[in-house]
Each structure stands twice: as structure tokens, then as C-alpha cells.
Amino acid sequence: MKKLINNPADVLEDALHGFEVAHSNLVKVYRDPNYIICRESPVKGKVGLVSGGGAGHEPLHGGFVGRGMLDAACPGAIFTAPTGDQIYEATKAVEGGAGVLHIVKNYTGDILNFEMGAELCRDEGIEVETVVVNDDVAVKDSLYTAGRRGTGLTVMVEKIAGAAAREGKSLQEVARVARKVNEYGRSMGMALTSSTVPHVGTPNFELADDEIELGIGIHGEPGRKRLPLTNATGISKLLLDPILEDLPFKSGDSVLAFVNGMGGTPIIELYLMFGELMKYLDTKNITVERSLVGNYVTSLDMAGCSFTLLKLDKELKGYWDAPVKTSSLNW
């Protein structure tokens, strides 16, 4: 295992320290339990937004804490759900009197612990709504999930709900918008290589030099199938066909297209894949009105990518375009 780390057991703590000092103008990081909050939060009268999940997917979620997106993020241990206690403390810290929305990727541990955190908050009179993200069309049920997994679309849910909250919408309205994003969006990923969890020290799975894993999960959990390595055009079609069929996306639709790197894939390849995505959507008469390309929902050092499409309407486009100031999305 070749990594830029000290003690494998301390990777999250050490990285959180680096994140804290790199972005001290924007966020505060609390310990024991760990959570990251926006320096401006709580904002009186604004719905608070809290998300979280296992570490190893950076910049998700801490990189999206800031003005116009998340108020707080709860990083669990690597590939491990945050505890109810983290969620409880983060929720209390950002509650500004208008309730708090929990944005939860659909993994069994995350669902359970966010429920526990929400219950603790409700016991103290804090209103909490929960939105579950389950955009991954690759598999139903997996090593980490009952039902579909939550992956790349989480970025869009957090950005768009964050903009609605910033505009002063009510908790019910922010939750409605977040659920609409989940309803309108679909994702699928693939891996060229496995990731290696630091405290394990060996790859999560083995892929031959001429194999890819189609439908990979962001924890390296198995996908749909293993296939011989093919070219970018072929991989793009293998990812897009299931996404397009699932919603379904139709001729004439306008979408936001997101090509996400898994952590070990260079940016030149992500742009190349974005070009392939555009060419294929052109043949389907689907218009890409907004785009995002980069490493946003990673799986440690895995090489590979995921595609996310979100069907846009005027409301979602407006919230996507609204100003945002976080360490990883900024406009």
C-alpha cells in the first residue's frame, strides 16, 4: 500500500485537521463527535442542511459545507456511516429555528444512524425532515444497501436544496425540492481499479489488467458485471444506456450532466469521458444545459468514473445556478 499517510488508523483525523486549517475562513471542525459546520451557521430563520457519510469519498460531504449548500457534514470513519451522536450534535449546531433537513445516501448504516440522530433532535423539539438519495441504477440491494445506492446525484441534491434553503424556503418546501432532484436524477459508475482502505492495506477487490467492473459502488462493492476493458466510447454507452432507460430520459429532455472521477482518474480522462457523454446524448436528442466534471464523490484511490444525469426544469436550473461558496463548489 503506497499512500500519503501516517498511521492508517488516523487517516480521517489527520485529513480533518488539514481540511480545518485549509478552510478555516469557511468552516469550523468539531471533534468527538466529528462534524464540520459552516462558520455562518446557524442562520436564524433558515432551514439547516445536514449530510454525512463514511469518509473516503472526499470532497463529499465536507467540501460542500458553506453558503448556499450544506450547513454541516458528519464524516464517519472510512466507508462507515457517521454515528447518531455526530448527526445529533451537527443538527443542533446548525438549527436556526426553521428546522433541519437531513440528506442521506441510501446505505443501511447511514439510514439507521440518521434516524437515530433525528429522533434525538425531535426529542428536543427540533423539526427534522429526511431525504434519502438513491440514484444508482446499477443494482438493487448490495453489500451496503437495501434498495438502490446513493451516489453522484447527492452533489446535486445538496446544491439545489441548499439554494432553496438560502432563499428562505420552508423545511417542507426544501425537502420537496430535494426529493424532486432525487426523483429526476440517475447515476451509474465503473471502475478500472480497486480502492485500498488504509487500515486494511490491500485492494478491496481484484480486477485483471484487461477487466472493468461495471456498476461499481463507491465503497468498491460489486456492480452489475465484469467486462473486458473497452474504449471510452464503449464505456460511455455502457453507463448511459441503463441511466437513460431507468428514468426514462426522453428525446427533447434538458439535463445537467455530471462526470465524476473516483479519485485515481486524471482530469484529462474525465474531460474525454464528458465528450463521449455529449456525443451519445446528442444521438438521443437530449440537451446538456449544465455540466460538472471532476472528482466530487470519490472512492479513495479507485480509478474509474460515474455518470449522473439530472433532468432539468426551470426550478432546478434556477437553484443550480444560484450562488454557492464552499471549498469544492464555488460560483
What does each C-alpha distance from 96 to 45, 46, 92, 100, 170 come to in angstroms?
5, 6, 9, 8, 12
**Which string of b and e fits 216-248 if b means at least 16 CB within 10 Å?**
bbbbbbbbbeebeeeeeeebbbbbbebbbebbe
57 labelled catalytic: yes
Q: Decide if 158 contacts 64 (C-beta within 8 A).
A: yes
23 labelled catalytic: no
Phi, psi of 320 (to 5 degrees): -65, -40
Q: C-alpha cell of 188?
A: 451509474
Helix intervals (H) in the chain? 11-22, 84-94, 108-123, 153-166, 171-184, 232-246, 267-283, 314-321
Which residue in the list 23, 57, 61, 102 is annotated as catalytic?
Answer: 57
Q: How many residues bind its own copies (CB under 8 A)?
A: 59
Q: Decide if 261 contacts 156 (C-beta within 8 A).
A: no
Residue from 36, 177, 235, 309 in contact with its own copies (CB under 8 A): 235
**192-211 footprint of its own copies as x/- string (CB under 8 A):** xx---------------x--
Residue from 15, 126, 171, 247 in contact with its own copies (CB under 8 A): 15
Stretch that binds its own copies, among 97-105, 108-116, 245-253, 271-279 (CB under 8 A): 271-279
Q: C-alpha cell of 199?
A: 487500515
Burial of 182 (0-12, 13-18, 19+ CB in 10 A): buried
Compute the least distance from the CB of residue 176 to its own copies, in Å. 29
231 or 283: whose CB is closer to its own copies? 231
Length of the chain: 331
183 or 321: whose CB is closer to its own copies? 321
Compute the least distance from the CB of residue 26 to its own copies, in Å. 11
Compute the least distance from the CB of residue 98 to its own copies, in Å. 28
Considering only residues 35 to 74 of the shown chain, the ones binding its own copies according to CB under 8 A are 55-56, 58-59, 63
322 makes contact with its own copies (CB under 8 A): no
239 makes contact with its own copies (CB under 8 A): no
Which residues contact its own copies by CB under 8 A?
2-7, 11-12, 14-19, 21-23, 55-56, 58-59, 63, 192-193, 209, 212, 229, 231-233, 235, 263-276, 278, 288, 291, 293, 295, 298, 300-301, 303-305, 325, 330-331
Active site residues: 57, 219
